[in-house]
Amino acid sequence: MKVYEVVDEDLDRRGFLKGLGATAAVGATSANAANFQSNNKPIPTPPDDAINDVVKQKEDPLGAFADKNFDKSYLTPIDKSKVEQIATRIKNFVRKTPEPVKPKPYEPITGSKMETALHNFAVNLGIKGAELAAFMGQTAHETNNFKTIKEYGSGHKYEGRKDLGNTHKGDGEKYKGRGFIQITGRYNYTQAGKDLGLDLVNHPELVEKPDVAAKVTWWYWKNRVRPNVANFADVKQVTKQINPGLKGLEKRAQATHSFKVAQQ
């Protein structure tokens, strides 16, 4: 096998010569077979892993064939030309194929692992830009900078709140705020559970689990926030969908700004 047959074959296995006319190389080999065979000398082959070295080290491709173990004395002018063509192909491939850039791991503003988990969850859902900043800013405020996904209070203040669906005795405490957006009330727990296939009516404590909390938060955001917000840069408009009384508006705005800056 001629040198350019060996090199072409090796390159073709790596996908370098796809569509580049490897068939023509075979024809050239047949035309020069007599020249090699008439010498009754072993046919030269490239050094072991020559091509790998070229690709890995990105050195001069012709340098790979300068190895003392590679006898070039039998190369005809056509053979030499073929080697140079292959070298050019390798150079072009290496030059046009940049090293893959690994994405930087997310660095949480609050230092919380829950923040990192929720951020990655949101990004995987396709949330980005101003909406991502609003989503993270609002959830940061609701969870006291991702320190808790369960409301600190007892929930007694929600007792008897028909607007939240709390029509049974004890509903206020049972369905107090949970999750990254702190959903409250029997109605919200019922609807979220129905849509997510979870029994949140009988087991509202499930929302205290980070994975369930993330799903419930996305459910609320998708159904209650997104449809009613035209501009996610408008913190007041976003906050109104989560807390109609606009409680903590200034802190929500500060948190949203911090997450906006973090994206830049």
Cα distances (Å, whole numbers) of residue 154 to 111, 173, 263: 27, 6, 36
The Cα-based distances of 189 to 170, 243, 246 in angstroms read 14, 17, 22
Q: What is the DSSP letter of 98?
A: P
Strand partners, 183: 178
**Residue 145 three-state SS:** coil
Active-site annotation holder among 99, 142, 151, 205: 142
- Asked about 99 being catalytic, the answer comes back as no
Contact (CB, 8 A) for 14 and 51:
yes
Q: How far is CA 188 from CA 142, 185, 223, in A?
A: 16, 6, 11
Question: How crowded is residue 185: how many other Cβ atoms within 10 Å of its Cβ?
Answer: 22
**Rounded to 5 degrees, what are φ and ψ at 150?**
-135, 130
Task: Let me know: does 44 contact 75? Beta carbons within 8 Å.
Answer: yes
Considering only CA atoms, which of 233, 248, 217, 253 is closest in space to residue 139? 217
Residue 189 near residue 200 (C-beta atoms within 8 A): yes
Distance CA 107, CA 92 (A): 37
Cβ pair 50, 65 in contact under 8 A: yes
**Positions marked active-site:** 142
